[in-house]
């Protein structure tokens, strides 16, 4: 009797809905393709590659130009052994002097002192004897003891009138234009130097070309013509 009641009670219950098995899941809808985005991505990749290629090509566009290895004084020309070639990036905004223009450059004169390590540009040189405004170039011949042993082009020197034939530099005509201590010019620039080093026997004599103020040129020339000049190297002041 109890068994029947239980059975009847179970028969009155609603049956639970059956759960779908794993293999019976509904299919997912296909992803929507976006061809425009794909094309944009490809275009960006191509543009990036093109930009990188352009930078590489520009970096490789180099030219051979002239670099100064020995200081060139104002009014002087480039000499063999005083320059070398270097590679630089081409730039239309800079007037580089190319290495194949070296022979032409040798015929020009420096407008002002060109220091060692400078890369040459066209504005540094001019045709003919180009001296800074207000300056004059004077040659002097010196004997050993009248100049520092290691003097060189580009040095700044003081020019003195020295006794000639035992005369007093303060009273001698050779010292015209000099101060009481014999000073003629306190700030001259050595433009060039020639010591006759190619001679068979060295005499110790030295020839210098000095760049001086025009107002002092006559006094230096008079003392030089009387062989009554001595030079002393002094700190440079950008002459």
pLDDT of 59 strictly over 70: no
pTM for the structure as a whole: 0.48
Question: Using CA atoms, how far apart are residues 59 and 117, in angstroms rounded to an integer?
Answer: 23
Residue pair 175/228 in contact by the 8 Å Cβ criterion? yes
Question: Using CA atoms, how far apart are residues 66 and 117, in angstroms rounded to an integer?
Answer: 10
185, β-bridge pairs: 159
Question: Which tens digit of pLDDT belongs to each residue from 207-237?
Answer: 888 989 999 999 999 999 888 999 999 987 5
212, β-bridge pairs: 136
pLDDT of 239 strictly over 50: no
Average pLDDT of the residues in 146-168: 80
Question: Which tens digit of pLDDT belongs to each residue from 9-57?
Answer: 555 555 555 555 555 565 666 666 667 777 878 888 888 877 776 665 5
Residue pair 189/156 in contact by the 8 Å Cβ criterion? yes
The structural domains of the chain, with segments of one domain joined by +, span: 62-127, 135-233
Question: Which tens digit of pLDDT belongs to each residue from 122-142?
Answer: 888 888 656 677 888 899 999
Fold of 62-127: Type Iii Antifreeze Protein Isoform Hplc 12 (3.90.1210)
Q: Are strands 108-110 and 206-213 parallel, antiparallel or unpaired?
A: unpaired
Residue 63, Cβ density class (10 Å: 0-12 exposed, 13-18 middle, ≥19 buried): middle
Question: Which tens digit of pLDDT belongs to each residue from 70-90?
Answer: 888 777 888 888 999 999 988
Q: Are strands 156-161 and 183-194 parallel, antiparallel or unpaired?
A: antiparallel
């Amino acid at each position: 009797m109890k068994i029947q009641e239980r059975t009847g009670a179970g028969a009155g219950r609603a049956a639970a809905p059956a759960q779908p098995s794993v293999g019976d899941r509904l299919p997912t809808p296909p992803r929507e393709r976006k061809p425009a985005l794909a094309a944009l991505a490809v275009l960006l990749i191509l543009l990036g590659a093109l930009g990188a290629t352009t930078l590489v090509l520009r970096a490789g566009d180099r030219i051979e130009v002239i670099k100064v290895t020995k200081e060139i004084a104002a009014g002087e020309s480039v000499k063999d052994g005083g320059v070398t070639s270097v590679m630089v990036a081409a730039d239309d905004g800079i007037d580089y002097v190319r290495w194949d223009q070296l022979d032409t450059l040798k015929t020009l004169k420096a407008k002002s002192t060109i220091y060692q390590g400078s890369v040459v540009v066209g504005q540094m040189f001019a045709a003919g004897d180009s001296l800074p405004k207000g300056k004059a170039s004077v040659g002097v011949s010196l004997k050993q003891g009248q100049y520092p042993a290691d003097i060189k082009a580009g040095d700044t020197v003081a020019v003195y009138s020295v006794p000639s034939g035992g005369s007093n530099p303060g009273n001698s005509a050779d010292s015209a234009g000099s101060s009481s201590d014999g000073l003629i010019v306190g700030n001259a620039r050595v433009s060039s130097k020639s010591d006759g080093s190619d001679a068979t026997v060295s005499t110790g004599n030295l020839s210098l070309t000095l760049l001086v103020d025009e107002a002092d040129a006559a006094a230096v020339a008079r003392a030089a013509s009387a062989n009554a000049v001595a030079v002393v190297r002094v700190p440079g002041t950008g002459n």
